[in-house]
Structure 1
């Protein structure tokens, strides 16, 4: 137990602040649709094929300023989001009127907050650091439960420490951690699986990463150029005929010269907010090239597609969003107080003279 205690303390001191950042940013992102204060955010979702086609035609009318992607409004957020190749973007009403524009993510809090949570402002390297922190968090949950068991009779739940002292912080850390452990386990495990293939293989089976990649792979690229104009109504009508009950979620133009236009849809049984049901059209003629029906994907891939909605609280309604908000805030408190007590708590005790007074008589263990 002494070795486990030592590992728990030192690893917590090293990655606690990263976990605090991930927790607080995640808690804020869960409610992103509610705190984006722009006109038309509360508009009812429009899914009529003709109406969406008209909006797409309006947005795509000028080939010089076509967005790379249109993300269509949801039931909870009434704006379309446009993404451009240079990193800029815009929100439009569902009629296609521009509501807000930005030249970089720093002009929109929801965008830089998303980058902070997913990449720590450091791209792929930041994502890897976040994944390592998630694995460390899983270790904290398991080791914390084992360490808490010794002092379970002194359990006392508090939202905040009784005082800003190291013993009080350690006790608060122990008891808050045990309460939040189930929710934190879900958040950290799903995050780790989404980032690291070996974790996906461990949880979903050795063949899972290859199966997921093959099942979600786009068709082979086409050697065709993007046409200046398309019959968007025909494409959307083709998609609606294939999947009449599915939501139209996003439209992506040819990426990296692959010669494909991708239209994503969400069937009712899918948890992913943008679905995995996808139709690909040729970028020159608009002819249908391939179709992926998410309901026909292998079981392992369906389970994998559930992980992000579980992680980001995109399923389960308000009650689950509140639960994951609590998990994020708890992770923020645990990480922040852990870092403070590890790096500054001992120093503060010594500076106050308590360290000298208690020489030869160490503080009682509270964790």
Structure 2
């Protein structure tokens, strides 16, 4: 009975989610190489000299809205996203290399589709729902297939050409084998991707389950005033020498403060989760060190780096790429098999 119900669930969810799975897997796999694709599409971004902090800070002072990323060796430019979503790229001399409007090229479309289905907050909610359904789809398929006796022959694929009558068997074997072999990276992508859509709920739950905190010696806030981004970045480097500034919020908050995000040496998140905030007069208002947060919160901040292969090196990146390819191949072979069998029964 379980196999019958799982077969029905797997079939109808597969038919419903096929287009979404293929497109989300395709865009996500491409985004593993976002920087390389950017440099391929825009040769002016192939820079040899990484801007210094001072050179980048001079660019940040030109903006009063949006956010900006600090230059890095793998992204050798100063990157600013203005209030309209246009991404600006500057070289070490502060010269504008490129301005990419939101949805101004195919890569921007891929990013927005993968994150929000081009539907902003509604798309984020739909992504979460589709992610949960896709996990149910995988579990139902696994229950449907689960054999009574294990053998390596269960994963064999006998190839036949589409013109052959036996091609339906090839489709079924390929669908089954890819799903089993790529199960772990496939689940890793779906679980982390869905958890990102429900980040607040996941973080709150883990915070309650693992509330233990590390006690840190709080440093007194310096009285030095930082009136521009160069001074703020210098103050951050002296206040937290073991943390690196990664992301700046160029627009003041409702209380008039400017915020920056920092990453400590052992942190997985590429943009960091520690915060410094300055008031409009340049006074350091608060210092929020992620290492003082609960173990649950810190664990929740490892989900995003795992999803984008920011950790784990080449091995983890390769596994996730295989998982992405499997997420494209599985719905295609499944729908193809369903269509061939339906056509055969009608014939």
Query: Pick from 118, 130, 133: which aligns with 1:133?
Result: 130
Query: Pick from 29, 39, 43: which aligns with 2:44?
Result: 39
State yes or no: 1:184 paired with 2:180: no
Which residue in 1 is equivalent to 2:111? 114
**Distance in structure 2 (CA, Å) of the matches to 1:108 and 1:347:** 40
Relative to the length of structure 1, the TM-score reads: 0.79
Cα deviation 1:151-190 (Å, max 9, x = unaligned): 85442456x9744454432221111000110111111111
**Distance in structure 2 (CA, Å) of the matches to 1:202 and 1:233:** 35
Which residue in 2 is equivalent to 1:15? 17
**Distance in structure 2 (CA, Å) of the matches to 1:273 and 1:91:** 19
Flag the 1:188–1:111 CA change in 2: closer, same or farther, 3 A: same
Query: Pick from 62, 68, 87: which aligns with 2:66?
Result: 68
Q: Please tell me the root mean square deviation across aligned C-alpha atoms, in Å.
A: 2.8
Q: Give 1:256 deviation, angstroms.
A: 6.2
**Distance in structure 1 (CA, Å) of the matches to 2:93 and 2:243:** 20
Q: Which runs of 5+ in 1 are unaligned?
A: 212-228, 357-367
Secondary structure of 1:184's partner?
helix
Q: Is the 8 A contact 1:157 1:176 kept in 2?
A: no
**Distance in structure 2 (CA, Å) of the matches to 1:162 and 1:77:** 46
**Distance in structure 1 (CA, Å) of the matches to 2:190 and 2:135:** 7
Q: Is the 8 A contact 2:56 2:78 kept in 1?
A: no
Flag the 1:321–1:162 CA change in 2: closer, same or farther, 3 A: farther
Q: Give 1:258 deviation, angstroms.
A: 4.2
Q: Give 1:255 deviation, angstroms.
A: 5.2
State yes or no: 1:243 paired with 2:248: no
Secondary structure of 1:35's partner?
helix
Which residue in 2 is equivalent to 1:360? none
**Distance in structure 1 (CA, Å) of the matches to 2:18 and 2:107:** 24
Query: Pick from 296, 312, 315: which aligns with 2:311?
Result: 315
Which residue in 1 is equivalent to 2:173? 171
Q: Which runs of 5+ in 2 are unaligned?
A: 212-225
Q: Is the 8 A contact 1:14 1:339 kept in 2?
A: no
Cα deviation 1:291-313 (Å, max 9, x = unaligned): 11122211001000000000111
Paired residues in the alignment total 322
